[in-house]
Structure 1
């Protein structure tokens, strides 16, 4: 099966959230897919983020993570997901924040003079989300459960991507509504 980093995969609205969303079906252990489990797909992520990511202008052209930095990027990704997912649900804790800050610090120490490396840019993106909190804008998609920033004027965006998750939800409602109407 071939895989490509399409615009939908960068619907989080921030690099840190797009990296966190590299795990598909995170809450379903039987169907969970970690896109970064394949080093080639992880290495292709920066080019996709440059083309489709909301923060591509902020960080410039991104570079792949060094081989010895891969585990650190995964640790950072998981800390980002745990912290911001808990914040959306109203269960944020100082311990989760501390874990995220420790993962950010470790990443920045490890990355050294590689400001364009994916792990460095992801850490900086997470810091920006922490420094300029807009908790009412951070949401979890009810369809795919990805984290995303709602940048709509009235903060009414319901899905990470209307063209994918929004359409799936509407099609499902339509199917169930028609099925109920046709039952004898």
Structure 2
């Protein structure tokens, strides 16, 4: 099934989190599904991410990847990132036991590239040339280790996506108020009306 890579799919706040969130409803074994089940979606996601994550990437475009070639690296970075930071949100700290696998996955993503990154003010390198998707994904994932970022990581109580809370008072609850927030409001309204009807019918 072709995915529509809309702005809602990029509400994680960082490329690595948006990628982790391509597995939907991780908290529900009966409803969980993987938007990268078709490897072709990795290329389509990367194309959309070039626009939706332009600020994070410093304007550097993502190369059009060959999905079959990079899929194992992308999935490895995605899963180790989700595991490490989901546990960090739940426990309030990074589990050192999860670090080696995460760092190895990121290293694999970086190993195939000969690009230069990390110039002052340009963590993703020169905006004039494209960067491989797996390289950008690894850089984004590693940047999540900053203390100020870890402290702002959240898990959406509706869809279970990871996101960075950049609100002024760190009070953001939903990954996307227009989607998950409104769904929860609608659910609460429905439950209140149902409870009121039950009281009346007693």
Q: TM-score, normalised by structure 1?
A: 0.91
Name the residue aligned to 2:71.
Answer: 70
CA RMSD of aligned residues (A): 1.9
Alignment map for 1:169-184 (pairs within 5 Å): 169-183=184-198, 184=201
Matched residue count: 184
**Deviation digits for residues 50-94 of structure 1 (CA, Å, limit 9, x no counterpart):** 232364542611123333221111011000000000000016311
Name the residue aligned to 1:17.
Answer: 17
Name the residue aligned to 1:144.
Answer: 159
Gaps (5+ residues) in structure 1?
Answer: none
Q: TM-score, normalised by structure 2?
A: 0.84
- Whose helix fraction is larger, Structure 1's or Structure 2's? 1
Runs (4+) of structure 1 exceeding 6 A deviation are: none
Determine whether 1:48 maps to 2:48.
yes
Question: Higher Cα Rg: structure 1 or 2?
Answer: 2
**Deviation digits for residues 95-121 of structure 1 (CA, Å, limit 9, x no counterpart):** 112221111111111344496111110
Give the one of 93, 107, 113 matched to 2:109. 107
Give the one of 132, 135, 145 matched to 1:117. 132
Change beyond 3 A, Cα 1:175–1:54:
farther
Gaps (5+ residues) in structure 2?
Answer: 117-129
Q: Is the 8 A contact 2:2 2:41 kept in 1?
A: no
**Deviation digits for residues 2-33 of structure 1 (CA, Å, limit 9, x no counterpart):** 42100000000000000000111122232221
Could you say what secondary structure the match of 1:139 adopts? strand
